[in-house]
Structures are given as C-alpha cells and as structure tokens.
Amino acid sequence: MEEQKSKINIQWFPGHMTKAKRQMEEHLKLVDMVIELRDARIPNASKNPLIEQLTKQKPRLILLTKRDKAQPEATRRWVEHLQNEQVKVLALDLLKDPLEKRITSAAKELMKDKLERMKRRGIRPRAIRAMVVGIPNVGKSTLINSLAHRRAAVTGDRPGVTKALQWVKIGKELELLDTPGVLWPKFEDAKVGMLLAVSGAIRDDILPLEEIAYWAMDWLQEQYPQVVRERYGVELQENPYDTLLAIAEKRGYKNGTAIDEKRLIIAFLREIRDGKLAAITWELPDED
C-alpha cells in the first residue's frame, strides 16, 4: 500500500456506455421529463455532466438516493441547493420510503403546466413518461422494481448491471424508461473519481483499491475522526496508512504474521459503502 497521498486519475468508459448515451439521445424525444438519481453522500460527484448536457431542455426530478447513509442536515442543504423552477429534488431511502406516491406527486407537479394545457385543449392527459438516468450503482434498478412491485429490472450492489433500455408502467399516471448507468469519459477533478470509487460507482476490479482506501482514511481522519475511533477502536495515527494497519492488527487480518492488506482494504471499503461507519456525506454544496 502506498504511504503517500494518491494523485491517481481514474478513467472508465466501457463500450456499452457509449451505446447507452446514443440510445438516451434517441429516446429523449419520447419522454416528458427526466428522473435523475444521484447518491445523497456525493450529490455533486454523482452528477453526470453528459446527462446534464443531454437532458437540459427537459423538466427534471432529482432523487438523492441512499439518504439513510448520508448526514441528514447535509442532505437538507443539498435539496435546497439543487431545486429550482425546472428541477424538483427528493431525498429517498429506496427500500423504506413510499416511493410511488412521492415520485408520482413530484412528477405531476413538474408537468402541471403541460397537463393543464392538454385538458384545456380537450385532450385526456396520458401517463407522464419519464426517462430514469444516473451513474452506475446509484439505485435505478432498485427504484424501478420498487415502483413496479415486481422484478422488472436486474439489481446488484455493483455497477453496470442494467445494460439495455426498457419501459416500465407505474400505475396509471407514470411510465418509466429505464436506462443503463452511464459514467463520463474523463473526470476533470481527481477528487470526483475518488468519491465515485469510494462509493462503489466504478467496478473494483479496475481500481487501485489500496490508494482509494488510503485516500478515504485520510479524508475520514480529517472530517470524522471520532467515527473512525468508535468504529474500529484504534487511535488515529499521523499517517492514515498506519491507522489502517492498526485496524488490521485489531481485527486479526493476517496471513501468518503478515498483514492481509487485501482483506483489510475490501472490508474497509465495504463498511464505508454499507454505511457501517456512520451516516456520512463526503461533499457539501458550498465546497469548491
């Protein structure tokens, strides 16, 4: 494991994402609005500029998912920061919240003017059609399945599960076009790449996990030192690498007498992603 701050620049743009971007462009004319999912722990880093560029002419409902894993006050600030006339924002726990009622209500509010125009013209309003977009592993398939009350989409706690577009009818008032998770070809800000890696939006098998774990511990020691102490029962070391080694010693992550770094890193990142440390928000709206 490297004992210095990582300056890696993570890149990932597999072929199916190029295809997904093209399909999204082709299908946008079929929908009334866009439902964009972002991770409530990293609302800025999980914003895909490609999606923003493609969908800027459409009314948008932003869903901050995994709110149960984010710091509540920070989430409240993000909701306030992101909302405007064209954009509504909901913070959701996709496994516990009443999704259909809240999302349908928000969609009808966003489309209120169009629905009223249709009524004035004597046209019976049809179901609102919305394209569901977002980065990998942000909860799109979980959302679709919860709303459809069936296994309409394959789910998995790993990026890149959904590979094709599909329509899903939600009651009488909403039709959703599910899309694959799409990342963008270059992260201009290295921190964005790190946050996406820490959150699980990028496949682990292409990542330098040691450097990501080091970066995450360095950040946690600065921002949430007491959380680290309480979770792992170790004293923080000046070098985050040494803190990670102390955790390995405490938990017995060893191969013989040597530290089992792979086991340590996988366990550490998994606990962050599962929200086992605490409800943590990794970026705030007033940060540069």
Instruction: Show the tokens assigned to 36.
Output: 């964009």
Domain range 15-178, its CATH number among 3.50.50.60, 3.40.50.300, 3.20.20.220, 3.10.20.90: 3.40.50.300
pTM of the model: 0.86
Tally of helices (H runs) and strands (E runs) in the chain: 11, 8
- CA neighbor of 137 nearest in space, from 37, 215, 48: 37
Task: Determine contact, residues 31/187, Cβ cutoff 8 Å.
Answer: no
pLDDT in tens, the chain (288 residues): 544 444 455 555 555 566 767 777 888 888 999 999 999 999 999 998 877 777 878 899 999 999 999 999 999 999 999 998 889 999 999 999 999 999 999 999 999 988 888 888 888 878 999 999 888 889 988 998 888 876 554 444 444 444 456 788 888 889 998 877 666 655 667 888 899 999 998 888 888 999 999 999 999 999 999 999 999 999 999 999 999 999 999 999 998 889 999 999 999 999 999 999 999 999 999 875
Pairing of strands 174-178, 166-170: antiparallel
Task: Determine contact, residues 2/99, Cβ cutoff 8 Å.
Answer: no
Task: Give the domain ranges of the chain.
Answer: 15-178, 208-273
Which residues have CB under 8 Å from 97's CB, separation 6+? Answer: none
Task: Determine contact, residues 221/240, Cβ cutoff 8 Å.
Answer: yes
- Centroid of chain to Cα 41: 8
Q: Which CATH class is domain 208-273?
A: mainly alpha
Q: Helix, strand or coil for residue 12?
A: coil
Pairing of strands 87-91, 60-65: parallel
Query: How many Å apart are CA 110 and CA 119, to the nearest integer?
Result: 16
